[in-house]
Protein backbone atom coordinates (compact mmCIF):
# COMPACT_ATOMS: atom_id res chain seq x y z
CA UNK A 1 0.00 0.00 0.00
CA UNK A 2 1.15 3.52 -0.81
CA UNK A 3 -0.77 6.42 0.67
CA UNK A 4 -2.76 8.68 -1.61
CA UNK A 5 -1.01 12.08 -1.55
CA UNK A 6 -3.18 14.93 -0.28
CA UNK A 7 -1.41 18.10 -1.49
CA UNK A 8 -2.60 21.45 -0.22
CA UNK A 9 -2.16 23.50 -3.42
CA UNK A 10 -5.37 22.46 -5.23
CA UNK A 11 -7.37 22.91 -2.03
CA UNK A 12 -5.92 26.37 -1.41
CA UNK A 13 -6.53 27.39 -5.02
CA UNK A 14 -10.17 26.32 -4.82
CA UNK A 15 -10.67 28.11 -1.50
CA UNK A 16 -9.03 31.31 -2.75
CA UNK A 17 -11.18 31.25 -5.90
CA UNK A 18 -14.29 31.13 -3.69
CA UNK A 19 -12.90 33.93 -1.54
CA UNK A 20 -12.32 36.13 -4.60
CA UNK A 21 -15.91 35.54 -5.65
CA UNK A 22 -17.20 36.52 -2.20
CA UNK A 23 -15.05 39.66 -2.22
CA UNK A 24 -16.50 40.75 -5.57
CA UNK A 25 -20.02 40.31 -4.19
CA UNK A 26 -19.42 42.82 -1.38
CA UNK A 27 -20.06 46.54 -1.90
CA UNK A 28 -16.51 47.31 -0.76
CA UNK A 29 -13.42 45.12 -0.53
CA UNK A 30 -12.71 44.12 3.10
CA UNK A 31 -9.55 45.55 4.63
CA UNK A 32 -7.06 43.37 6.49
CA UNK A 33 -4.67 44.96 9.00
CA UNK A 34 -1.44 42.97 9.45
CA UNK A 35 0.52 44.02 12.53
CA UNK A 36 4.15 42.99 13.00
CA UNK A 37 6.52 44.04 15.80
CA UNK A 38 10.25 43.71 15.15
CA UNK A 39 12.23 42.22 12.27
CA UNK A 40 12.18 38.49 12.97
CA UNK A 41 12.95 37.02 9.53
CA UNK A 42 10.21 34.39 9.70
CA UNK A 43 7.62 36.94 10.78
CA UNK A 44 8.66 39.34 8.02
CA UNK A 45 8.28 36.55 5.46
CA UNK A 46 4.91 35.38 6.80
CA UNK A 47 3.43 38.88 6.84
CA UNK A 48 4.72 39.59 3.34
CA UNK A 49 3.11 36.39 2.10
CA UNK A 50 -0.24 37.20 3.74
CA UNK A 51 -0.22 40.75 2.36
CA UNK A 52 0.53 39.49 -1.15
CA UNK A 53 -2.19 36.84 -1.02
CA UNK A 54 -4.74 39.36 0.26
CA UNK A 55 -4.16 41.63 -2.74
CA UNK A 56 -4.36 38.65 -5.11
CA UNK A 57 -7.93 37.84 -4.02
CA UNK A 58 -9.08 41.47 -4.12
CA UNK A 59 -8.81 42.35 -0.45
CA UNK A 60 -7.39 45.61 0.77
CA UNK A 61 -4.41 45.00 3.02
CA UNK A 62 -2.14 47.21 5.09
CA UNK A 63 0.99 46.18 6.98
CA UNK A 64 1.80 47.95 10.24
CA UNK A 65 5.51 47.19 10.74
CA UNK A 66 6.46 48.42 14.20
CA UNK A 67 10.00 48.57 15.62
CA UNK A 68 11.21 46.04 18.18
CA UNK A 69 11.23 48.82 20.77
CA UNK A 70 7.47 49.35 20.52
CA UNK A 71 5.94 49.22 24.00
CA UNK A 72 2.93 47.14 24.91
CA UNK A 73 1.01 50.35 25.56
CA UNK A 74 1.80 51.63 22.06
CA UNK A 75 0.77 48.34 20.45
CA UNK A 76 -2.51 48.24 22.39
CA UNK A 77 -3.22 51.83 21.35
CA UNK A 78 -2.80 50.84 17.68
CA UNK A 79 -5.18 47.91 18.17
CA UNK A 80 -7.72 50.26 19.77
CA UNK A 81 -7.58 52.47 16.67
CA UNK A 82 -7.95 49.49 14.33
CA UNK A 83 -10.85 48.14 16.39
CA UNK A 84 -12.62 51.48 16.08
CA UNK A 85 -11.95 51.86 12.34
CA UNK A 86 -15.10 50.67 10.55
CA UNK A 87 -13.09 50.28 7.32
CA UNK A 88 -11.00 47.49 8.90
CA UNK A 89 -12.66 44.07 8.67
CA UNK A 90 -9.87 41.91 10.08
CA UNK A 91 -6.86 42.31 12.37
CA UNK A 92 -3.94 39.90 12.62
CA UNK A 93 -1.06 40.36 15.03
CA UNK A 94 1.88 38.25 13.86
CA UNK A 95 3.32 36.03 16.57
CA UNK A 96 5.69 35.68 18.29
CA UNK A 97 5.92 39.10 19.88
CA UNK A 98 9.03 40.52 21.60
CA UNK A 99 9.47 39.26 25.19
CA UNK A 100 8.45 42.58 26.76
CA UNK A 101 4.94 42.37 25.24
CA UNK A 102 2.29 40.03 26.64
CA UNK A 103 0.81 37.93 23.85
CA UNK A 104 -2.24 37.23 26.00
CA UNK A 105 -2.92 40.95 26.56
CA UNK A 106 -2.55 41.64 22.85
CA UNK A 107 -4.83 38.81 21.73
CA UNK A 108 -7.45 39.91 24.24
CA UNK A 109 -7.26 43.46 22.89
CA UNK A 110 -8.38 42.50 19.36
CA UNK A 111 -12.11 42.94 18.76
CA UNK A 112 -13.52 39.38 18.52
CA UNK A 113 -15.49 40.45 15.42
CA UNK A 114 -12.17 41.32 13.71
CA UNK A 115 -10.14 38.43 15.17
CA UNK A 116 -9.39 36.67 11.88
CA UNK A 117 -6.85 34.40 13.62
CA UNK A 118 -9.69 33.00 15.73
CA UNK A 119 -7.65 33.16 18.96
CA UNK A 120 -9.81 35.47 21.12
CA UNK A 121 -11.47 33.61 24.04
CA UNK A 122 -14.90 34.69 22.80
CA UNK A 123 -14.32 33.03 19.43
CA UNK A 124 -12.81 29.97 21.11
CA UNK A 125 -15.95 29.62 23.26
CA UNK A 126 -18.16 30.03 20.20
CA UNK A 127 -16.16 27.33 18.41
CA UNK A 128 -16.56 24.83 21.25
CA UNK A 129 -20.29 25.63 21.31
CA UNK A 130 -20.45 24.88 17.59
CA UNK A 131 -21.36 28.47 16.70
CA UNK A 132 -18.02 30.00 15.70
CA UNK A 133 -17.74 32.05 12.54
CA UNK A 134 -14.03 32.90 12.90
CA UNK A 135 -12.13 29.67 13.58
CA UNK A 136 -8.33 29.28 13.84
CA UNK A 137 -6.93 29.16 10.32
CA UNK A 138 -4.87 25.97 10.32
CA UNK A 139 -7.52 23.56 11.63
CA UNK A 140 -10.19 25.26 9.51
CA UNK A 141 -7.94 24.77 6.49
CA UNK A 142 -7.55 21.09 7.38
CA UNK A 143 -11.33 20.69 7.25
CA UNK A 144 -11.26 22.25 3.79
CA UNK A 145 -8.67 19.66 2.77
CA UNK A 146 -10.69 16.76 4.16
CA UNK A 147 -13.77 17.99 2.29
CA UNK A 148 -11.84 18.51 -0.94
CA UNK A 149 -10.52 14.95 -0.94
CA UNK A 150 -13.84 13.50 0.33
CA UNK A 151 -12.23 12.07 3.45
CA UNK A 152 -15.04 10.91 5.75
CA UNK A 153 -15.21 12.53 9.19
CA UNK A 154 -18.65 11.79 10.66
CA UNK A 155 -18.61 8.58 12.64
CA UNK A 156 -14.84 8.17 12.30
CA UNK A 157 -12.36 7.76 15.14
CA UNK A 158 -9.99 10.73 15.08
CA UNK A 159 -6.85 11.28 17.14
CA UNK A 160 -5.27 14.73 17.35
CA UNK A 161 -1.66 14.49 18.54
CA UNK A 162 -0.82 17.84 20.13
CA UNK A 163 -2.84 20.12 22.39
CA UNK A 164 -1.78 23.62 21.38
CA UNK A 165 -4.28 26.49 21.40
CA UNK A 166 -3.45 27.16 17.73
CA UNK A 167 -3.94 23.71 16.20
CA UNK A 168 -4.54 20.76 18.52
CA UNK A 169 -7.42 21.89 20.71
CA UNK A 170 -9.39 23.76 18.02
CA UNK A 171 -8.85 20.86 15.61
CA UNK A 172 -10.44 18.52 18.14
CA UNK A 173 -13.40 20.88 18.59
CA UNK A 174 -13.99 21.16 14.84
CA UNK A 175 -13.79 17.41 14.27
CA UNK A 176 -16.19 16.88 17.17
CA UNK A 177 -18.60 19.34 15.54
CA UNK A 178 -18.37 17.18 12.40
CA UNK A 179 -19.50 14.13 14.43
CA UNK A 180 -16.13 12.41 14.71
CA UNK A 181 -15.22 10.54 17.89
CA UNK A 182 -12.19 12.52 19.02
CA UNK A 183 -9.22 11.84 21.28
CA UNK A 184 -6.62 14.51 22.08
CA UNK A 185 -3.25 12.85 22.66
CA UNK A 186 -0.04 14.48 23.84
CA UNK A 187 3.40 13.93 25.33
CA UNK A 188 1.98 12.37 28.51
CA UNK A 189 -0.46 10.03 26.81
CA UNK A 190 0.20 6.48 28.00
CA UNK A 191 1.00 4.07 25.14
CA UNK A 192 0.49 6.72 22.49
CA UNK A 193 1.07 4.24 19.65
CA UNK A 194 -1.88 2.12 20.82
CA UNK A 195 -4.08 5.22 20.83
CA UNK A 196 -3.11 6.41 17.36
CA UNK A 197 -3.47 2.90 15.90
CA UNK A 198 -7.18 3.04 16.71
CA UNK A 199 -7.71 6.12 14.55
CA UNK A 200 -9.22 6.35 11.10
CA UNK A 201 -7.90 9.93 10.99
CA UNK A 202 -4.72 11.19 12.67
CA UNK A 203 -3.76 14.87 12.84
CA UNK A 204 -0.19 15.41 14.07
CA UNK A 205 0.91 18.82 15.35
CA UNK A 206 3.72 18.37 17.86
CA UNK A 207 6.68 20.14 16.25
CA UNK A 208 8.97 17.10 16.39
CA UNK A 209 10.55 15.78 13.18
CA UNK A 210 9.31 12.35 12.06
CA UNK A 211 7.51 11.83 15.36
CA UNK A 212 4.70 9.63 14.00
CA UNK A 213 6.17 6.35 12.75
CA UNK A 214 4.57 3.54 10.71
CA UNK A 215 3.97 1.33 13.76
CA UNK A 216 1.71 4.07 15.17
CA UNK A 217 -0.70 4.11 12.21
CA UNK A 218 -3.70 1.93 11.42
CA UNK A 219 -3.46 0.55 7.86
CA UNK A 220 -5.52 2.73 5.53
CA UNK A 221 -5.88 5.65 7.96
CA UNK A 222 -5.73 9.26 6.76
CA UNK A 223 -2.77 11.15 8.25
CA UNK A 224 -2.59 14.96 8.34
CA UNK A 225 0.91 16.30 9.00
CA UNK A 226 0.88 19.84 10.42
CA UNK A 227 4.57 19.91 11.35
CA UNK A 228 7.12 22.21 9.74
CA UNK A 229 10.57 21.35 11.10
CA UNK A 230 13.95 22.47 9.82
CA UNK A 231 16.66 19.83 10.11
CA UNK A 232 20.17 19.33 8.75
CA UNK A 233 20.66 16.53 6.23
CA UNK A 234 24.19 16.04 4.92
CA UNK A 235 25.04 19.60 5.84
CA UNK A 236 22.01 21.09 4.13
CA UNK A 237 18.81 22.49 5.62
CA UNK A 238 15.64 20.54 4.91
CA UNK A 239 11.97 21.03 5.81
CA UNK A 240 10.29 17.90 7.18
CA UNK A 241 7.03 17.18 8.93
CA UNK A 242 6.02 15.49 12.17
CA UNK A 243 5.29 12.29 10.23
CA UNK A 244 7.98 9.82 9.17
CA UNK A 245 8.07 9.32 5.37
CA UNK A 246 7.63 5.56 5.79
CA UNK A 247 4.10 6.19 7.10
CA UNK A 248 3.18 6.47 3.41
CA UNK A 249 3.59 2.70 3.20
CA UNK A 250 0.81 2.18 5.77
CA UNK A 251 -1.58 5.12 5.56
CA UNK A 252 -4.42 5.46 3.09
CA UNK A 253 -3.84 9.18 2.62
CA UNK A 254 -1.05 11.53 3.69
CA UNK A 255 -0.41 15.27 3.40
CA UNK A 256 3.10 16.21 2.19
CA UNK A 257 5.56 18.54 3.90
CA UNK A 258 6.20 20.98 2.42
CA UNK A 259 3.23 21.52 0.12
CA UNK A 260 0.47 20.35 2.44
CA UNK A 261 -1.36 22.00 5.31
CA UNK A 262 0.87 25.08 5.36
CA UNK A 263 -0.62 26.37 2.12
CA UNK A 264 -4.10 26.30 3.61
CA UNK A 265 -3.42 28.50 6.63
CA UNK A 266 -3.00 31.69 4.60
CA UNK A 267 -5.92 30.82 2.32
CA UNK A 268 -8.18 30.35 5.34
CA UNK A 269 -7.02 33.69 6.75
CA UNK A 270 -8.36 35.33 3.59
CA UNK A 271 -11.64 33.45 3.99
CA UNK A 272 -11.93 34.56 7.63
CA UNK A 273 -11.40 38.18 6.63
CA UNK A 274 -14.27 38.00 4.16
CA UNK A 275 -16.45 36.20 6.71
CA UNK A 276 -15.83 39.01 9.21
CA UNK A 277 -16.90 41.60 6.63
CA UNK A 278 -19.98 39.60 5.66
CA UNK A 279 -21.09 39.29 9.29
CA UNK A 280 -20.84 43.05 9.75
CA UNK A 281 -22.88 43.57 6.57
CA UNK A 282 -25.52 41.08 7.75
CA UNK A 283 -25.82 42.84 11.12
CA UNK A 284 -26.05 46.19 9.37
Give pLDDT tens digits for 52-94.
999 999 999 999 999 999 999 999 999 999 999 999 999 999 9
**pLDDT tens digits along 14-36:** 999 999 999 999 999 999 999 99
Q: Is 81 annotated as a binding residue?
A: no
Q: Is 162 annotated as a binding residue?
A: yes
Length of the chain: 284
Active-site positions read 50, 94, 117
CA 47 to the chain's CA centroid: 14
The reported pTM is 0.95
- pLDDT for residue 284 is more than 60: no
Q: Is 228 annotated as a binding residue?
A: yes
**pLDDT tens digits along 33-46:** 999 999 999 999 99
Which stretch of DSSP H or E encloses residue 258? Answer: none
User: Which residues are CB-neighbours of 93 under 8 A, at least 6 positions away?
Assistant: 35, 37, 75, 79, 106, 107, 110, 117
- pLDDT, residue 236, reads 81
**pLDDT tens digits along 88-133:** 999 999 999 999 999 999 999 999 999 999 999 999 999 999 887 7
- pLDDT, residue 131, reads 83
Question: Percentage of the chain surpassing pLDDT 90?
Answer: 92
**pLDDT tens digits along 206-246:** 999 999 999 999 999 999 999 999 888 777 888 999 999 99
- pLDDT, residue 283, reads 64
List of domains in the chain: 27-112 (3.40.50.10860), 136-261 (3.40.50.720)
- pLDDT for residue 205 is more than 80: yes
Question: From CA 190, how far away is CA 81, in angstroms rounded?
Answer: 48
- pLDDT, residue 7, reads 98
- pLDDT, residue 60, reads 98
Is 214 in contact with 249 (CB distance < 8 Å)? Answer: yes
Is 251 in contact with 217 (CB distance < 8 Å)? Answer: yes
Residue from 135, 129, 196 nearest 161 by CA: 196
Is 13 in contact with 270 (CB distance < 8 Å)? Answer: no
Is 241 in contact with 206 (CB distance < 8 Å)? Answer: no
Residue 282 confidence class, pLDDT cut points 50, 70, 90: low
Q: Averaged over 165-172, what is the pLDDT?
A: 96
Q: Is 166 annotated as a binding residue?
A: no
Amino acid sequence: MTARPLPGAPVADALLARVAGRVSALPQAPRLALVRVGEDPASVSYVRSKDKKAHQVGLQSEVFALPESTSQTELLALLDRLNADVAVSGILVQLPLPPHISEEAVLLAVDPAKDVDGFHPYNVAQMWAGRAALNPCTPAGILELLDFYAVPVAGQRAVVVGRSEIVGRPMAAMLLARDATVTIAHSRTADLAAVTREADLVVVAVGRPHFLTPDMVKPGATVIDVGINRIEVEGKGKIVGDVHPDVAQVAGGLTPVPGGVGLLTVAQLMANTVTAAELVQDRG
